Amino acid sequence: MHEAVLAPGRLTGVTRPQPRERLDPATRAWLTWRALPGARLHKVDPLPGGFTNDMAVLTVRRPAAADGERYVLRRHRPGGSRFPRNTCAVEIAVLDRAAAGAVPVTTVIAADPQGRITGRPTLIYRFVEGSPLSQVLADGPPDGEARGLGRAVGGVLARIGRVGLDRPGVFGDTSLVPAPDGAAPLGDLASFVDRCLDTATGDGPLSPADSAVLRALARRGPRALSAVAGERSLVHGDFNPKNLLVRRHAGQWAVAAVLDWELAFSGSPLFDVGNMLRFAHEYPPAFTTGFVEGFRDGNGRLPAHWLRHCRTLDLFALADILTSPTDPPYFARAHAALHRSATDWH
C-alpha cells in the first residue's frame, strides 16, 4: 500500500545518504537500447520507501544536450498480496485512458509489462517536478496556504471521481471493464478482516484486544458498503499525501501529479476520501477543511454520515497494514487510527 515519491533534491523518508543503485545487465540494456534510445545513463539513485516495488531515479544525458533528463524507473517486486493489485499493463491503461486528461498524472515513457526483457514488469515514468504533499504538510504551512492546498487536493479527487466506468469492481484486464460480480473490490469487510487476522503472524504486534476492536468495527461494514453500492467511479485506491506531488503555480498550490495507480478500481470515491483522512489529525486542520470544501465544490458526493462510512471503508486498508506491518512507526500510526475510529463510534 505504500510507495515513496520524489521531490526535487530530496528523497522522502530518507535520513542518510543512500548507496547508488546497481542495475542488472538486462535492465540496463533495455534502458539504453529500447526504452531511452540515444541516451547515456549517467546516474541511478534508489528511491527508498516502496513496499511493493523497487524504484529508482534515472539521470540520462543525450548528445549536444547541456542538461540531464530525469525519469523514474519502477520494477514490480514479486509477492502475494491480500489486495487485488493491478498488473503493470492494467496500470498503464488506467493512466492512458482513464486518468489522463482528468487529473495530472505521470507520463509512461516505456514499459516491459510482462517482464519478458528485464525479468520482471517494469515501467519508466517521466520525472515530475514537485514536492510530496506529505512533506509540505509536515512543514506546517500557514492556515491560509493549508486550506488552499486542501482545496486543490479535494478538487483533484472530485475530478478522479467523475471518471465513470462500466460497473463497480476490480480491473481484470486492460479493457478496464470489471468482472460482472465485482460489486465490492475486496468483498465483505468482516470476512476480509477475518482473513487478515487469520493469516497474520502469531508474534505480530497486534494484540488480542486490538483484534477484537478491528472485528467489531468490521461489523459496521454492511452499512457503509450499502451506502456506496453500485457506484462505478474511478478510485485511486491509495490516495494519500505520499502519492501526491504538489507545486506552486501563480502563487497558489496545485497538484502536479497523482502517483501510483497500482490499486485503482471502480467504486466509490469515499474509499479515497477515507484514505486521505486516515491521518487527518496529523495535518493542519485548515488542510482538512479545505480538502472537504474542494471535494464538494468539485461535485464530489458526501452522503449523510459520510465520515463514518469513509472510516469504515478504510478498514480494508487498515486491516492489511495492521496484520502485515511494514515498519514500527507506520504500524503505530495505523494502530492509533484504528482506535480513533473505535472512539468515534461511541
6-126 is classed in which CATH architecture?
Answer: 2-Layer Sandwich (3.30)
> What burial class does residue 101 get, using C-beta atoms within 10 Å of its C-beta: 0-12 exposed, 13-18 middle, 19+ buried?
exposed
Q: Whose CA is closest to 236, among 194, 203, 271?
A: 271
Question: Which pLDDT band, with edges at 50, 70 and 90, does 102 fall under?
Answer: confident
What pLDDT does 220 receive? 86
What pLDDT does 23 receive? 87
Summarize pLDDT for 19-44 with one digit per residue, the tens.
455 789 999 999 989 999 988 898 99
Q: What is the mean pLDDT of residues 135-148?
A: 94
What pLDDT does 204 receive? 75
Q: Whose CA is closest to 313, among 203, 189, 213?
A: 189
The C-alpha R_g of the chain, in whole angstroms, comes to 20
Other CB atoms within 10 Å distance of the CB of residue 216: 13
More confident residue, 80 or 112: 112
Question: Which pLDDT band, with edges at 50, 70 and 90, does 185 fall under?
Answer: low
End-to-end CA distance of the chain: 29
How open is the CA angle 185-182-1, to the nearest 5 degrees? Answer: 20
Q: What is the mean pLDDT of residues 214-239?
A: 92
More confident residue, 341 or 30: 30
Q: Which of 11-25, 189-203, 263-277 has the lowest mean pLDDT?
A: 11-25
Q: In this structure, are residues 142 and 290 in contact, taking their beta carbons and an 8 Å threshold?
A: no
Chain mean pLDDT for the chain: 86
Q: Whose CA is closest to 70, among 131, 15, 124, 133?
A: 124
Domain ranges of the chain: 6-126, 131-344
Angstrom CA distances, 233 to 167, 256, 271, 284, 301, stand at: 8, 22, 11, 29, 11
The CATH code of the domain at 131-344 is 3.90.1200.10
Residue at grid coordinates 478496464:
176
Summarize pLDDT for 269-296 with one digit per residue, the tens.
999 999 999 999 999 999 999 999 999 9
What pLDDT does 345 receive? 63
What is the rounded distance in angstroms from the CA atom of residue 48 to the CA atom of residue 38?
A: 28
What pLDDT does 342 receive? 84
More confident residue, 197 or 64: 197
**Rounded percentage of the chain residues whose pLDDT exceeds 90:** 63
Highest mean pLDDT, choosing among 57-71, 179-193, 278-292: 278-292
What pLDDT does 3 receive? 37
Confidence check: pLDDT of 15 > 60:
no
Q: What is the mean pLDDT of residues 154-183?
A: 88
What pLDDT does 155 receive? 97
What pLDDT does 162 receive? 94
Give the chain as a 3 state SS string. Answer: CCCCCEECCEECCCCCCCCCCCCCHHHHHHHHHHHCCCCEEEEEEECCCCCCEEEEEEEEECCCCCCCEEEEEEEECCCCCCCCCCCHHHHHHHHHHHHECCECECCEEEEECCCCCCCCCEEEEECCCCEEHHHHHHCCCCHHHHHHHHHHHHHHHHHHHCCECCCCECCCCCCCCCCCCCCCCCCCHHHHHHHHHHHCCCCCCCCHHHHHHHHHHHCCHHHHHHHCCCCCEEECCCCCHHHEEEEEECCEEEEEEECCCCCCEEECCHHHHHHHCCCHHHCCHHHHHHHHHHHHHCCCCCCCCHHHHHHHHCHHHHHHHHHCCCCHHHHHHHHHHHHHHHHHCC
The three three-digit cell numbers of residue 304, written as one number: 449523510
Indicate the Cα dihedral angle 266, 314, 51, 205, nearest 10°.
Answer: -150
What pLDDT does 49 receive? 57
